Amino acid sequence: MDASGVLSLTYTPPRADVMVQRLAVPAGLRRGHPFDLRVILENNSPEGKPLPGRLLIRQRTEGEPVVLVDQHVEVAPGKQVFTIRRQFDDPGFYSFDAVFVPDDPESDALPQNNRATGFALVRGRGRVLVIEDALAVGRAERFVEAVRAMNVDVVVRPSDRAFTSAAELAGFDAVVLCDVPREALTDKQVAALVQNTQQGGSGLIMLGGPNSFGAGGWANTELEKAMPVDFQIDNLEVVPRGALAMVMHASELANGNYWQVRIGQEAIRTLGPRDYCGVIQYDTAGTSWLWKGGMLEVGPRRRQMLAMVGRMIPGDMPEFDPGLKLAAQGFASLPDAAIKHMIVISDGDPSPPTAAAIDALVRQNVTVSTVAVGTHGAAGSRVLQRLAAQTGGKYYAVSSASALVRIYQREARRVAMPLVYEQPTPFAVDRTGTHEILSGVRMPFCSITGYVMTRLKANPLVEAPLVATQPGNRENATILATWQYGLGRSVAFTTDIGTRWLDPNRSWADYDKFFGQMVTWAMRPTNDTGNYTVNTTVDGRTLHVTVDALDEENRYINFAEMVGSVVSPDLEATSLVLKQTAPGRYEGEVPLGGAGDYLLTILPGAETAPLNVGITLPYSEEYRYRPANEPLLEHLAGLTPKEGSPGVLQRVDPAFSQLKQAEATAVDHFRHDLPKARSRQPVWHWLLLAAAWLLLADVFIRRVQVDPIAGVRKLVRFVRGRLGEEPSG
């Protein structure tokens, strides 16, 4: 506001900009049916001029991207739609991206909004993804043949190339984990598997083997929640105890304390409730146990152990001997531990361990694995290599911190190996009930030589039709268990598929029938009982969904209970309820988050295949073109203050820095000589409320006896319980 009280508003007129508004891919695509892929461009040129450039449209499947369109275009002012006709002969997941490259980059104000992506899920007959351990590829061939015999398309991938997104995973009607250890998949991939079953209705099957279930480090994971069995065993008569000690040395690693906290917690989560665990660190008090008592049972103390590891700050250990001797003493106090293992992470800089310290571990059959991080040359590496070799452990040289988590998960599994029950001679499997999977499978069931012990979940939805006859306790001897998990089904088969424990001689006649029926039972429905059209629009950050539903005779489907969910790029699921708004039409809306690919899953009804639709927000909201609201600015500038004059609206050149200094500072927006504004507000109700509280306080003080010391003691006990007091022996 200037000296005369005139309000001056300035703004910069918008520059020309071409935005790839959307790459539209139809929902519910079918194999062999043509469809139109549409790219919507928007030219927001203030001068109304067309903007020339190059339009590139690419398609990506499992291989390299394929260029569909590469042509020169002139984008007229306003919106313009470019359409190409496509047809897929194979079902699966297909992704697309469209890019506009202007001939003159200076003519495009926001290059960040020149790209959009989309994806399609092409339906056909049922599709199943089989994930094998990347270190044991090819062992599932017989199983895959049995499933393909059921007229099902099967895709086999190693665990290191399993899938890259939740949208890609949604293209499969069932996913099979074939003896895959926990460390083979990332946290996001595990979360996507669970979401795909719970929210997407896909089947999830876990096949046994020495790297599966609790023996594979899957205990206390999200995947365990989706299975009909728990992966930990409490029965000491069946599963012997294991013991794990970890020595934490502040190595020269970026964010070293964060990584040591994380790997320590991951190892504790892998252990069973009857296993022992202890953590040794070096701090201002020297080398010591992180918690009192040293090696303690995990079960009742897991939460406290995780909390204390989360607060630890390991120091730079000067020598190995005190830590190794402390661990040897801790292991010596555990006569009932069948497996004793130790993990040492270090840069190799501490003084080498003495022969006496190593012998104390060897005499107790303690294996020591070492993790070398940022070692100071070959000398530090040799110290850690010798320690692992002399104790029967394994040596790891780590160059990337991201590998530490998987190493600790793998090493902690050594303690979980007693979960595998294995015998040299075959033993029988009993049938305890009926199930669709066993339809037509002749009894007795194929004999086995081993399996991974689990514990059935206490849930009425769980069925366990097959149980092993050994070691005698049927509580932990489940061979086949199934249940409904959310919208999908999950299956736990705790023995293997014929590579080691089940029918290695290929003599079982019902092998193909059993495993084929297992997969088809778990698969989500693929039948079409209606004609559904899904339309989605995004308004700001709100997704609007419309479903038009017709039956096989093209009649409206009314009063259906349609539900759905939207999975964000961060794998967070948001529920969606669709309400009928017209004959055969259902609508709903749900808020979206940031930019990325979203997967919309709609369940039209029972025994009906889910509808999967991809929604892509290609860029953040700040990169959308928004012209200035000139009418509002003119209204604000034209307001007349008391004893003043109306303001003016100034349109300035985009090169604001080139304005003369006098013009830029002609208006002083920070003057302090303007008249102060005053307003009066009634406060009687606030005074009345304060008087009422004072009256209550006076009565309380006169009538109630308060012991502040006792209150403080109760508060201290409560805070200690919440924060996780150190575990005690």
Write the pLDDT tens digit of every residue in 139-178: 999 999 999 999 999 999 999 999 988 888 888 999 999 9
Could you tell me the two tokens for 468?
A: 């092993």
Spatial contact of 548 and 532, defined as CB atoms under 8 Å apart: yes
Q: Which domain holds residue 80?
A: 18-123
Together in a domain, 288 and 403: yes
Asked if residue 540 is part of any domain, the answer here is yes
Name the residue among 8, 17, 6, 11 with its Cα closest to residue 629: 11
Asked if residue 610 is part of any domain, the answer here is yes
Together in a domain, 452 and 577: no
Together in a domain, 289 and 364: yes
Together in a domain, 409 and 515: no
Q: Tell me which of 123, 150, 176 is where a domain ends.
A: 123
**Confidence band of 471 (pLDDT split at 50, 70, 90):** confident
Could you tell me the two tokens for 337?
A: 């531990």
Residue with tokens 């275009």: 73
Q: Quote the DSSP letter at residue 110.
A: -
Together in a domain, 692 and 596: no
Q: Which residue has the higher pLDDT, 22 or 655?
A: 22
CATH number at residue 64: 2.60.40.10
Asked if residue 728 is part of any domain, the answer here is no
Q: Quote the DSSP letter at residue 406.
A: H
Q: Which residue has the higher pLDDT, 144 or 256?
A: 144
Q: What is the pLDDT of residue 124?
A: 74
Asked if residue 570 is part of any domain, the answer here is yes
Q: What is the pLDDT of residue 437?
A: 95
Q: What is the pLDDT of residue 596?
A: 82
Beta strands, E only, 642-687:
648-651
Together in a domain, 208 and 226: yes
Q: What is the pLDDT of residue 550?
A: 87
What's the CA gap between 367 and 382, in Å, rounded?
17
Q: Which residue has the higher pLDDT, 63 or 421?
A: 421
Total of domains in the chain: 6
Mean pLDDT of 684-692: 91
Residues 71-108: pLDDT tens digits? 999 998 888 999 989 888 888 788 899 999 999 888 88
Integer CA distances (angstroms), 89 to 30, 58, 173, 451, 472, in order: 9, 18, 18, 41, 52
Q: What is the pLDDT of residue 665?
A: 45
Q: What is the pLDDT of residue 614?
A: 81
Instruction: Give the mean pLDDT of the chain.
Output: 85
CATH number at residue 287: 3.40.50.410
**Confidence band of 728 (pLDDT split at 50, 70, 90):** low
Q: What is the pLDDT of residue 529?
A: 54
Mean pLDDT of 557-584: 87
Q: Which residues have C-beta within 8 Å of that of residue 275, sequence separation ≥ 6?
A: 241, 242, 243, 244, 297, 298, 415, 416
Asked if residue 246 is part of any domain, the answer here is yes
pLDDT above 60: residue 6: no
What's the CA gap between 491 and 204, in Å, rounded?
6
Residue with tokens 């001679």: 425
Asked if residue 665 is part of any domain, the answer here is yes
Q: What is the pLDDT of residue 4?
A: 47
Amino acid at 195: Q
Together in a domain, 166 and 248: no
Lowest mean pLDDT among 261-265, 431-435, 719-723: 719-723
Mean pLDDT of 54-74: 86
pLDDT above 70: residue 726: no
Dihedral angle over CA of 377, 383, 384, 389, nearest 10: 130
Together in a domain, 595 and 653: no
Q: Which residue has the higher pLDDT, 391 or 630?
A: 391
Mean pLDDT of 25-53: 85
DSSP 82-107: EEEEE--SS-EEEEEEEEEEESSGGG
What's the CA gap between 630 and 11, in Å, rounded?
9
Asked if residue 383 is part of any domain, the answer here is yes
Together in a domain, 109 and 168: no
Residues 630-673: pLDDT tens digits? 778 778 777 777 666 777 776 665 555 444 444 544 556 566 66
Together in a domain, 210 and 343: no
Together in a domain, 297 and 353: yes
Q: Tell me which of 374, 391, 418 is where a domain ends.
A: 418
Asked if residue 423 is part of any domain, the answer here is no
Q: Tell me which of 522, 548, 574 is where a domain ends.
A: 522
Together in a domain, 266 and 405: yes
Q: What is the pLDDT of residue 381?
A: 87
Could you tell me the two tokens for 302?
A: 């897991």
